[in-house]
């Protein structure tokens, strides 16, 4: 279709909004959205990060992804509630059911973000529909959303990130110069902190300055990743809204060791073996994740965990392993370990960003991941292993979709 109308529906402070709505519906008097509050981990166990925050927390400088301890230091009267993913999925599903009344072409991009193709409805003005959807969600479901509208998924998503909360914004190609180009480069979809620094060092501070660069110049400088962000800066993106959902909340694996692991080298190897499986599983599901967690159980059966929120979602085995290794090194207290667990959550569909090659990206690594997956799926997990596992006594890949036996998992690859 020549002229597409794509909606991006984004729940405002999703986890916190859903918590607040649920509590108000069950007799709570105080709305979490009106006080300094966050959704995070278990504060009593001293672990967890800020997953969502209310607007009143902004004046305290609390950031998404920082530790609960740090957030509490900034705001002593902060209200902290643990996440309830089952309830969040129900709230997300309720929103999906409502949106299906408007279009059959709906893609759940994450638990709180949805793309909807409205191109095929020419009977109703798309702006009227967007406002109707926004008001129905607020009235019938109890939470607010931002809706961005554009000719592709990129511009629709960029539009939904404009002024919040409870707003409708458009971003068509004729609006890019006035609405998008003046924005700081960090506001461009998939520009993380490291890419921002690279661009700033060459005097590129706004999206417009990136868009106006010579295409050959940016390719010579940043290769394929440079072309991608240059295209994004010019509003170029053509992926389809595909019907699909994200029923899985997280992907993880764990292992209980046959002996006490009392040194860092072997601990890293167990984490690498788990990362191999988690990486294959998330790529097989065509998803990527943003929050990586590590849990340990020592030989006294005491458990503790650590997690980190990445700047950008990933499906890279090397990025997963690098992160879990850092988390382990930060949390391990030197005592013998008997159980290792890792997981990746806050999942996103990867079709819109599988070429987002911006942070710690190696094109060779991405190609290598996919190639190894194909070989392992065809010939078995042990057809390709890392040399560090040779003669180590540690399985090179630990975990599985159903069991830990060495069978090739079902694959999307033909």
Q: What is the pLDDT of residue 411?
A: 28
Question: Counting Cβ atoms within 10 Å, is residue 402 exposed (0-12), middle (13-18) or buried (19+)?
Answer: exposed
- Give yes or no for a contact between 10 and 133, defined as CB atoms under 8 angstroms apart: no
Q: What is the pLDDT of residue 412?
A: 27
Whole-number Å distance between alpha carbons of 195 and 316? 18
Q: Which two tokens stand for residue 352?
A: 């819109």
Distances (CA, A) of 53 to 39, 176, 270: 6, 30, 34
Reading phi first (left if > 0) and then psi (alpha if -120 to 50, else beta), residue 3 is in beta
Nearest to 38 by CA among 48, 49, 52, 22: 52
Q: What is the pLDDT of residue 248?
A: 73
Q: What is the pLDDT of residue 247?
A: 62
- Give yes or no for a contact between 252 and 341, defined as CB atoms under 8 angstroms apart: yes
**pLDDT per residue as tens digits for the range 292-336:** 999 998 888 888 888 898 888 888 999 999 999 999 999 998 999
Q: What is the pLDDT of residue 370?
A: 87
Distances (CA, A) of 397 to 292, 293, 394: 18, 18, 9
Query: Catalytic site residues?
Result: 113
Whole-number Å distance between alpha carbons of 80 and 72? 9
Q: Which residues contact 27 (CB under 8 A, 6 or more apart)?
A: none
Q: What is the pLDDT of residue 144?
A: 95
Q: What is the pLDDT along the chain (414 residues), one digit of tens a residue?
A: 458 999 999 999 999 999 999 999 999 999 999 999 999 877 766 667 898 999 999 899 998 888 888 999 999 999 999 888 889 989 999 999 999 999 999 998 888 999 999 998 777 899 999 999 999 999 999 999 999 999 999 999 999 999 999 999 999 999 999 999 999 999 998 888 888 999 999 999 999 999 999 999 999 998 888 898 999 999 999 888 887 655 677 888 888 888 899 999 999 999 999 999 999 988 888 888 989 999 998 888 888 888 898 888 888 999 999 999 999 999 998 999 999 999 998 888 777 654 444 555 566 778 888 898 889 888 888 888 898 888 888 988 987 533 333 323 322 221
CA dihedral 65, 69, 73, 75 (to 10 degrees): 60
Q: What is the pLDDT of residue 215?
A: 93
Q: What is the pLDDT of residue 366?
A: 80
Question: Residue 306: beta bridge partners?
Answer: 294
Strand, helix or coil for residue 20: helix
Quick check: bond before 255 cis, omega within 30? no
> What stretches of 154-286 adopt beta strand conformation (E)?
168-170, 250-261
| Residue whose pair of structure tokens reads 């969040």 in the numeric block | 88
Nearest to 112 by CA among 81, 137, 82: 137
Q: What is the pLDDT of residue 353?
A: 57
Q: What is the pLDDT of residue 408?
A: 30
Nearest to 235 by CA among 186, 299, 303, 188: 188
Q: What is the pLDDT of residue 404?
A: 32
């Amino acid at each position: 279709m020549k002229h597409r109308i794509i909606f991006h529906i984004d729940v405002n402070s999703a986890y916190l909004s859903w918590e607040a709505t649920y509590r108000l519906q069950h007799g709570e008097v105080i709305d979490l959205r009106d006080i300094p509050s966050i959704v995070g981990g278990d504060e009593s166990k001293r672990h967890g990060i800020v997953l969502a925050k209310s607007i009143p927390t902004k004046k305290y400088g609390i950031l998404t992804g920082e530790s609960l301890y740090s957030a509490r230091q900034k705001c002593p009267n902060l209200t902290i509630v643990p996440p309830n993913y089952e309830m969040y999925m129900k709230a997300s599903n309720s929103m999906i059911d409502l949106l299906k009344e408007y279009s059959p072409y709906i893609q759940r991009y994450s638990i709180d973000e949805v793309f909807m193709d409205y191109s095929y409805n020419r009977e109703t003005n798309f702006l009227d529909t967007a406002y109707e959807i926004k008001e129905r969600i607020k009235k019938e479901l109890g939470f607010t959303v931002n809706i961005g509208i554009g000719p592709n998924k990129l511009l629709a998503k960029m539009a939904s990130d404009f002024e919040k909360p409870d707003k409708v914004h458009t971003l068509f190609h004729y609006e890019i110069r006035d609405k998008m180009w003046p924005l700081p480069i960090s506001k461009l979809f998939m520009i993380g902190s490291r890419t921002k620094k690279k661009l700033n060092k060459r005097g590129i501070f706004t999206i417009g300055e990136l868009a106006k660069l010579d295409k050959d110049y940016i390719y010579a400088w940043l290769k394929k990743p440079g072309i991608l962000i240059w295209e994004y800066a010019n509003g170029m993106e053509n992926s389809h809204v595909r019907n699909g959902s994200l029923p899985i909340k997280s992907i993880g694996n764990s292992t209980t060791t046959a002996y006490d692991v009392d040194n860092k080298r072997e601990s890293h190897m167990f984490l690498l073996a788990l990362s191999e499986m988690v990486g294959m599983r998330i790529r097989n599901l065509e998803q990527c994740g943003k929050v990586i967690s590590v849990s340990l159980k020592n030989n006294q059966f005491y458990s503790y965990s650590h997690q980190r929120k990445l700047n950008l979602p990933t499906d890279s085995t090397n990025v997963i392993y690098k992160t879990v290794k850092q988390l382990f090194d930060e949390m391990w207290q030197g005592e013998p370990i008997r159980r290792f667990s890792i997981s990746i959550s806050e999942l996103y569909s990867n079709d819109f960003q599988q070429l987002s090659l911006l942070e710690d990206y190696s094109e060779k690594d991405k190609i290598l991941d996919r190639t190894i997956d194909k070989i392992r799926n065809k010939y078995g997990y042990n057809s390709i292993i890392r040399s560090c596992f040779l003669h180590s006594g540690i399985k090179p890949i630990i975990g599985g979709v159903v069991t830990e036996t060495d069978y090739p998992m079902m694959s999307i690859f033909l």
